[in-house]
Each structure stands twice: as C-alpha cells, then as structure tokens.
Chains A and B, each alone.
Chain A
Amino acid sequence: MNDRLWNVIVDSFPKLLEYGLKATIPLTILSFALALVIAVAVALIQYAQVKPLLPVCRFYIWLIRGTPLLVQLYVVFYVLPEIGILLDAFPVAVIVFGFNEGAYMAETIRGSLESVSVGQMEAGYCVGLNYMQTMAHIVLPQAFRTAFPALSNSLISMLKGTSLASTITVREMLTEAKIINGRVLETGGLYVEVAVIYLAFCTLLTWLQHVLERRLARHGGTVK
C-alpha cells in the first residue's frame, strides 16, 4: 500500500464515521421504527381478518415486493414534487425504506402470529381475558420472540440498504465517500473503507442480536 492511499484512508475515516453515525444510523433507526409500526399493523389486520382492510394490505405487500427498492426511491423522490409535495431527501428515504421493509416484516410477523398455538388464545379466553388482552399479553409477545431472528435480519439488511439513499442526494456515509473521492480519486480504497465501516456496524448489530436472543430465551425458554 502506498503512503498516499494510506493517508487518504486515515484522513477520510473520521468524516466517513461521522456520517455513518449521524446519517446512516439515524436513517436506519427511523426507517426500522416506521417499518415495525407498519408491519405490526398489517400483520394484525391479516391475523384478525379485518375484512375491509385486507385488500389494502394485500395490495401494499404486492406492490412493494413486486418493485425494486431503488425504483421506489426514485419514484417517490421525483414524483412527489410533481404533485406539489416538497419533502427533503432524508424524510423521503425514511418513508421509502420504512414502507419497503415493512412489507417484508409484515409477512414475518404474520407468520409468527400464526405459529402461536390456538390453545394459547383459548386459554386466555378461559381465564377471562378478551381478544385484545389475550393478544397483548400472550400472543404478541410469543410471536415477537419467534419473529426476532428474522426481524434482526431485516434490520441488518436495512442498515446496508440505506446506502441507496445516496442516489437521491441524502448525505450519508456512501455519499460522503463519493464526495471525498471526487477530490482525491482513490475509488477502490475509499469504497473498501466504507465497506469495512458497514461491516463493523453490522457486526455490532449481530452481537446485539445474540445478546437479546439469549435474554429472550431466559424469559420463557423455547416456544414449542
């Protein structure tokens, strides 16, 4: 490795990390929170068979899963202003990432809800709980535990996916790498550096997942 490349990497690192921490991470957290809210709502509507809303949910999942994420970003970013809605790139990215991953997570959560045995619900009724109480105290917590590994997957995939926001002018880690590269022209080195930072973030999340899974297992053991 030559000195120039090394210097570029060392000099750019604080800047890249800064944008990772102040853009990539918040973008991921906000998008994931939105996705989770959407996913739980959509999954519950399907699980409880809320008839009038079922077609809406199916349409949403069909539309999102049937189109590429990058195209969804472009469509929302370029179409919204044309119909008079002016949003910054950052909120657009949160909305698109949230609605996109929400569709996949809805299916994860729906599957987990359906995997909770009917007997759990019936036992809830028999001790006097109503539908909402049984869902809140018994079914949802068990479904969440089942869904946890898959939801962790979604979070990790979303973290990396936020790099697509660079294509709609959001100033995040990859955008910053592109900007620095425009000045110093060390394409390979800079992008490897960015990859390593993403890898570090994801490693941290994976570790967190293991810790939380172990804790969940302690509270109730395996769900049969």
Chain B
Amino acid sequence: MMLEAKNVHKRFNGAEVLRGIDLQVEKGDVVAILGPSGSGKTTFLRCLNFLERADEGELVFEGVHYPMATATRQQIAQLRKKTAFVFQNYNLFLNKTVLQNVTLGLTVAGKMKKAEAKEIAIAALTRVGMAGKLDSYPSQLSGGQQQRVAIARGLASSPDIIFFDEPTSALDPELIGEVLAIMRELAREGMTMLVVTHEMDFARNVSNRVMFMEGGRVIESGPSGQFFSAPKEERSREFIRTILRQE
C-alpha cells in the first residue's frame, strides 16, 4: 500500500465536512474522486497534503504514519517532499518565470545547484510541451499552458504521488484537452495519481479506481469500470445519470 487514509474527519465552524473518510491507494493507481460540489472531495484531498488540517484521522504514506490532526511541521515537510499538488487555479508563482516556477522548489527547498535544477526543469517542461516558454511569466500564458507548467513544477521534484484538485475546472473547454492528455500520459507511465474531477471521461477511461463522495461520506468506491457499468448504490446511479445527461 502506498497511501492509506483512515477515518478522516473535518469540521469548518461546526459544520462537519468530512465524516470519516477511508481511502487506500496502491502504487500506480489513478484514483478519481467524484461527487457533487460540497461533497467534501477537495477538502479531503487538501487534508492529505496538510493544506487543510483534519480534526481526526490517520495517514500512512509509504510505511510512515502521520497523525492527521497533530502531525508536526517536520513530518508535514517530509510528506510534501514526496508528493506534488496541482491546483484548480494553477497557483503558479506570479512573480517568477516559467523556468523559475519549476526550479524554485529544487534550488531553495532542495538546495540543488542552479544548473542541475535547470536541467531537471527543462526535462519536466518538455514532458508537458512547455519548454519553449521558459522566460514567459504566468500572466502571459493561457490557462491550459499555466496548468501544464504547474504539472511540470510538480513533476520536477520526482514525487511518488500527485494530487490533482479539479485540474481542468477553471479552463476554457478548448483548453481542457491539452491538460487531460498530459495526465493520461502520466497515468500510462505509471504515475500514482489522486484526481478530484468532474471529467467523467477521464474517470471512466484513465483512472482505474473511483471514489464517489457525497455529504462528507464515501458512498461507493471500486474499480472504475464497475462503478460506471454496474454502480452498487442508488445514489451513484443517480449521479452518473445526471452527469451523462449533461454531457
């Protein structure tokens, strides 16, 4: 088991957003986390990287235990070294060029030499097709390009798992494809990924497992083929019907 989360609880001002979430991820898994908005899926993902502090729960990552409510700063730093996070709004560093966005973590946090970091960054940017824009600033890029740089920034630190928080939700429809194509390629190469998404096509055809959440609970989770062809829960069936009708 690469990652296991047990009994994750989270309250915001008394409102319970996560009511005991469990998740198991094997190496090479691509897990799509689905659910209507407000189901807690983004909060859950953010808790896994400690961007949000869970009130209760335990995280086991590559054999190391992290108490989610009380993990120390050192523990969190250790976890983040091996993970990457891709945001809905890209969150590229606005005062840095494309190249600097990717090298900053390597040189400042990783104490890597500039030349070496640049080499790694260019390799990562090549993977996402953005090596031609090294000196551009985020404000000069389209949303799709920004998200691709954000993915390269995540890849540069050679993470064992990448968390994606609705990576295509902020994009214009014609730009979604270029980001999904990169994610599909990463999946094919065996990258372990946890993807909060509304892209049913991605969930069905790229992810191998689905976790369906609603109201802070896991309603159903299992292989994606089974989830889409033979959902066990009535609520899952309803959700899939609604989504398919929209598409």
B partners with A: yes
Q: A128-B77, A129-B109, A130-B77 are in contact. Are A123 and B140 (CB under 8 A)?
A: no
Is B120 among interface residues, defined by CB-CB distance under 8 A?
no
Query: Chain B residues near A124 (CB, 8 Å)?
Result: 93
Q: Is B80 an interface residue (CB 8 A)?
A: yes
Interface 0/1 of A123-156, CB less than 8 Å to B: 1111111100100011001100100000000000
CB atoms of A127 and B157 under 8 A apart: yes
A-chain residues with CB within 8 Å of residue B157 when the two chains form the complex = 127-128
Residues of chain B within 8 A of A127, CB atoms compared: 84, 104-105, 109, 153-154, 157
Find the A residue at minimum CB distance from B156. Answer: A127
Q: Is B51 interfacial (CB 8 A cutoff)?
A: yes
By size class, the interface of chain A is 20 to 34
Any A CB within 8 A of the CB of B39 = no
Contacts of A119 in B (CB 8 A): 87, 89, 91
Among A119, A126, A220, chain B packs the most CB atoms within 10 A around the CB of: A126
**B-chain residues with CB within 8 Å of residue A142 when the two chains form the complex:** 94-95
Q: Are A221 and B108 in contact (CB under 8 A)?
A: no
Instruction: Please provide the chain B residues from 108 to 167 with a CB less than 8 Å away from any CB of chain A in the complex.
Output: 108-110, 137, 139-140, 153-154, 157
Chain A positions within 8 Å of B94 at CB level:
120, 142, 220-221, 223-224
Whether A51 sits at the interface, judged by CB under 8 Å, is no
Are A123 and B109 within 8 A (Cβ)? no
Structural contact, A123 and B91, CB atoms closer than 8 A: yes
A4: chain B residues within 8 A (beta carbon): none
Known contacts A128-B109, A221-B139; is-contact A141 B95 (Cβ 8 Å): yes
Give Cα distance in the complex from A128 to B84, angstroms. Answer: 9
Contact A128 B140 (CB under 8 A): no
Once A142-B94, A223-B95 are accepted as A-B contacts, the answer to whether A123 and B87 lie under 8 Å apart by CB is: yes
The answer, yes or no, to whether A183 is at the interface (CB within 8 Å) is no
Min CB gap A122→B, angstroms: 5
For the complex, is A222 an interface residue (Cβ under 8 Å from B)? yes
Q: A221: nearest residue on chain B (CB-CB)?
A: B139
The verdict on A122 contacting B95 (CB below 8 Å), with A128-B81, A129-B104 known, is no
Q: Report the Cα distance A122→B93, complex, angstroms.
A: 10
Q: Which of A203-224 contact B (CB under 8 A)?
A: 219-224
- B139 contacts A129, C-beta separation under 8 Å: no
- Are A137 and B108 interface neighbours, CB within 8 A? yes
Q: Which residue of B has the minimal Cβ distance to A131?
A: B73
**B92 at interface, CB cutoff 8 A:** yes
A residues in contact with B85, CB < 8 Å: 122-123, 126
Contact between B51 and A129, CB atoms less than 8 A apart: no
Q: B208 an interface residue at 8 Å Cβ cutoff?
A: no
B49 in the interface, Cβ–Cβ < 8 Å? yes
> Which residues of chain B have C-beta atoms less than 8 A from A130's C-beta?
73, 77, 109
Interchain nearest-CB distance for A187 vs B (Å):
51
- What 4 pairs between A and B have smallest CB-CB spacing? A127-B105, A128-B109, A221-B139, A119-B91
Given A120-B94, A220-B96, 14 further pairs, Cβ under 8 A: A123-B87, A125-B51, A126-B80, A127-B109, A129-B109, A130-B77, A130-B109, A133-B108, A137-B108, A138-B96, A219-B137, A220-B95, A221-B94, A224-B94
List 23 A-B pairs, Cβ < 8 Å: A119-B87, A119-B89, A120-B93, A123-B92, A123-B93, A124-B93, A125-B80, A126-B80, A126-B84, A128-B110, A129-B104, A130-B77, A130-B109, A137-B93, A137-B96, A137-B104, A138-B96, A142-B94, A220-B94, A220-B95, A221-B139, A221-B140, A224-B94
